[in-house]
Structure 1
Amino acid sequence: MRRGVIALDRIVGIVVSLALIAAGAIALSWWHEGARHQLTLPDRTDATWWPWATGGAGVLAVLLGLWWLTAHLPRRVNGRFNLSGDHQDGRLFADAHAAVAAAATDLSSLPEIRDASGRVVADRGELVADLQCTLEPGAELEKVHAAVTKAATDLHAVLGLPRLRHRVRLRVARNDRTTAPPRVI
């Protein structure tokens, strides 16, 4: 998803969850007879089941609003993962963020790739190594494909995480840095 869509989703999520929490709080205050005497409503509000129905609806709305808020919180990924194997002196850890950054640095050393960056994210329940590369306009795609495939294979070998997925985003730069005319100051 694009950042604008994610931001809109979070804003709508916060507004909806706050509205649900407010509706639940109003229903709960109704249940405690705080607002019943201030409004004139049909005779159904005098029924014995009405306070229980509004109280239950209020609790349900508050719980739904809280669930909505927690479901739309951004997910942070801890970059440290336990490595398997016997080690008598302690436990072994792998730093996935450092490994992905090293893979991006390795990719950016190629002449076809102007810039590369990477990070580890949680995307739809999966752990994803996300690499982003900016290519030179005249880059040979076969070389880029081979380099990216090797970087992803090396990343999986270094981390040893079977549930790790990878995504590589390639963008082409607008101008070729190698053939750009010199700037006169």
Structure 2
Amino acid sequence: MSRKTAGFDRLAIFVLGLVLVAGGAAVGAWGLGLLDDVGLSGPQSISTQGATDAAQQGWWPYATAAGALVLGLLALWWLLAHVPHRGTDALRLPGSSSKGSLALDGDAAAAVAAQVIAEVAGVRSASGKVVSERGQLIAELDVTAEPEVDLLALDAAVVEVSRDLATVLSRPDVRGRVHVRIARRSKGMARVA
């Protein structure tokens, strides 16, 4: 969810809250007869005859269908605006200025780092990407290893690749995260019942 969407949500909830509080206070004051004390006169009774008459008109089904369509599209927009987007744009590198900018595809750099880790003996697969979580850039590597992998060799490779990736990205605000999953069974082993 973008900051613009979050700001719109907060504003809409604030306005809706004010309307509900004001409406509730007005209805409560009317019900208790307090409106007469401040010089306002509320209705003595409420009639729904206007709504009943409108519902019997020929245009009513079209108006309700149009209203439902507008509300449905608004709800769809609202839901799509709240779909989490973790991807990042190209990362600006140090040395960028008003004369020109240096940018790097963070996902490509993380994918190359994952390929290096995938070459370690006992690693089944590895992937990498740069994501944005709560305003923080994170270079994320996901590694799946065989049960018999040499964990010390894997650890050494992860440390070296992470150091190299930090050098390539040249951004102190990018953090690293490595997920290592150990497979339950070695690839190709027969399943015992």
User: TM-score normalised by the shorter chain: which range applies?
Assistant: 0.5 to 0.7
Contact 1:79 1:120 in 2 (8 A): no
- How far apart in 2 are the matches of 1:181 and 1:159? 43
Give the whole-Å Cα distance in 2 for the aligned partners of 1:114 and 1:46.
79
2:135 to 121, 125, 146: 125
Q: Is the 8 A contact 1:134 1:171 kept in 2?
A: yes
What is the match of residue 81 of structure 1? 91
Residues 90-147 of structure 1: CA deviation (Å, up to 9, x unaligned): 4321111110111112212222211111221222332111111111001111011011
Q: Which amino acid aligns with 1:27?
A: L
Q: Aligned partners of 2:37, 2:161: CA distance in 1, in Å?
A: 69
| Code of the aligned partner of 2:189 | A
Matched, 1:91 2:101: yes
Query: Displacement, 1:29?
Result: 8.4
Is 1:158 the counterpart of 2:168? The answer is yes
- Name the structure 2 match of 1:43: 33
Q: After the TM superposition, which segments of 4 or more aligned residues of structure 1 sit over 4 Å from their partners?
A: 19-23, 44-48
Q: 1:148 aligns with which of 150, 153, 158?
A: 158
Tell me the percent identity: 33
CA displacement at 1:75 relative to structure 2 = 4.5
Tell me the secondary structure at the aligned position of residue 116 of structure 1: strand
Q: Relative to structure 1, is the Cα distance of residues 79 and 44 closer, same or farther in structure 2, using a 3 angstrom cutoff? A: same
- Which of 6, 9, 27 pairs up with 2:20? 27
Cα separation, partners in 2 of 1:99 and 1:42, compared to 1, 3 Å: same
Higher-Rg structure is 2
Change (3 A) 1:132 1:47: farther
Q: CA RMSD in A?
A: 4.0
In structure 2, how many angstroms separate the alpha carbons of the residues matched to 1:155 and 1:162? 11
1:180 alignment partner AA: M
1 CA distance for matches of 2:35 and 2:135? 45
Question: By how many angstroms is 1:42 displaced?
Answer: 2.3
Q: Which amino acid aligns with 1:160?
A: S
| C-alpha distance in structure 2 between counterparts of 1:145 and 1:180, whole Å | 25
Please tell me whether residue 180 in structure 1 is matched to residue 170 in structure 2: no
Judge conservation of contact 1:81–1:96 (CA < 8 Å) in 2.
yes
